[in-house]
């Protein structure tokens, strides 16, 4: 059976600097897979390449058995690959509801769009309570909820989340992680980049450790969580 996402020998460069140096991994339908590593390891570059924002210099990306090599970013979204980027990138002057509707810009099924807006409000009740507020009035954690809700509006087969807990309070981070667990329980396939390695590995089916553009260690989330080298490097244990 073909994996939902297959990445093979992916290489990405900024000019002469190779940021991703031949990585390979798979994401099966229904899985949560996480990429962990320090800043500059190539994690965000990988997600930006998968979503079509950057062009690889080598390797293959297949989604649902189809090569993404020559497909523009907006068409990649329509195939079912959604990206909630680092930094959220919401539109601060637009209302919460209008931000959500932007996530459905490729759709024309009005009843389905309304249903998915309600789903976002069910996942994140605070958004429903403030739906007519400008998105810029939300806290950082609430803006992260909005960014995730907007990504879900495209009805993705695979949801990519880049640093969803960055800069959030412990309580808000816990809410975001609980939502990821809930989405997984609903059958959503997720590729997660997360600075909190312990939280990411605790909920991931599989994980990959990246260092300077390469995958140096792979395993189940639980195996990596208990790996001595990972505990020392990423979990702050001696």
Spacing of C-alpha 203 from chain mean position: 14
- Give average pLDDT by consecutive 10-residue segment, the chain, 238 residues: 91 95 97 94 96 96 94 92 86 95 91 95 94 93 92 95 89 91 95 92 96 96 93 76
Which residue in 35, 84, 56 sits closest to 192, CA to CA?
A: 35
The answer to whether 192 touches 35, Cβ cutoff 8 Å, is: yes
Question: Which of 123, 139, 155 is the endpoint of a domain?
Answer: 155
Strand partners, 36: 209
Does 144 lie in the same domain as 172? no
In a domain, 215, yes or no: yes
In a domain, 28, yes or no: yes
Q: What is the dihedral of CA 142, 190, 77, 113, to 10 degrees?
A: -60
Does 166 lie in the same domain as 103? no
- pLDDT number for residue 237: 63
- pLDDT number for residue 39: 87
Does 179 lie in the same domain as 117? no
Annotate the chain with three-state secondary structure. Answer: CCCCEEEEEEEEEECCEEEEEEEEEEECCCCEEEEECCCCCCHHHHHHHHCCCCCCCEEEEEECCEECCCCCHHHHHHHCEEEECCCCCCCCCCEHHHHHHHCCCCCCCHHHHHHHHHHHHHHCHHHHHCCCCEHHHCCHHHHHHHHHHHHHCCCCCEEEEECCCCCCCHHHHHHHHHHHHHHHHCCCEEEEECCCHHHHHHHCCEEEEEECCEEEEEEEHHHHHCCHHHHHHHCCCC
Range of the domain at 35: 1-80+158-238
- pLDDT number for residue 2: 75
pTM above 0.85, yes or no: yes
Q: What is the DSSP letter of 121?
A: H
Question: Which of 100, 128, 155 is the endpoint of a domain?
Answer: 155
pLDDT tens string 216-237? 999 999 999 999 999 988 876 6
- pLDDT number for residue 54: 95
Does 130 lie in the same domain as 224? no
Does 178 lie in the same domain as 146? no
Does 126 lie in the same domain as 115? yes
pLDDT tens string 39-58? 889 999 999 999 999 999 99
In a domain, 144, yes or no: yes
Does 143 lie in the same domain as 39? no
Site of tokens 């991931």: 204
Q: How many domains does the chain have?
A: 2
- pLDDT number for residue 100: 96
In a domain, 85, yes or no: no
């Amino acid at each position: 059976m073909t994996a939902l996402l297959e990445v093979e020998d992916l290489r990405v460069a900024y000019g002469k600097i190779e940021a991703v140096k031949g990585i390979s991994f798979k994401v099966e339908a229904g899985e949560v897979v996480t990429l962990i590593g320090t800043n500059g390891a190539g994690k965000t570059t990988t997600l930006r390449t998968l979503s079509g924002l950057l062009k690889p210099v080598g390797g293959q990306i297949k989604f649902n058995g189809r090569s993404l090599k020559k497909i523009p970013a907006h068409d990649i979204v329509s195939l079912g690959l959604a990206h909630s980027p680092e930094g959220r990138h919401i539109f601060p002057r637009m209302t919460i509801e209008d931000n959500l509707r932007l996530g459905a810009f490729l759709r024309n099924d009005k009843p389905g769009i309304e249903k998915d807006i309600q789903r976002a409000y069910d996942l994140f009740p605070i958004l429903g309570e403030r739906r007519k507020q400008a998105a810029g009035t939300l806290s950082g954690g609430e803006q992260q909820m909005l960014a995730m809700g907007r990504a879900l509006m495209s009805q993705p087969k695979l949801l990519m989340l880049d640093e969803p807990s960055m800069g959030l309070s412990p309580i808000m981070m816990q809410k975001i992680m609980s939502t990821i667990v809930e989405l997984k329980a609903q059958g959503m396939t997720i590729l997660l980049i997360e600075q909190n390695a312990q939280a990411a590995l605790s909920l991931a089916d599989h994980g990959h450790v990246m260092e300077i553009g390469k995958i140096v260690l792979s395993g189940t989330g639980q195996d990596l969580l208990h790996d001595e080298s990972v505990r020392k490097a990423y979990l702050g244990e001696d």
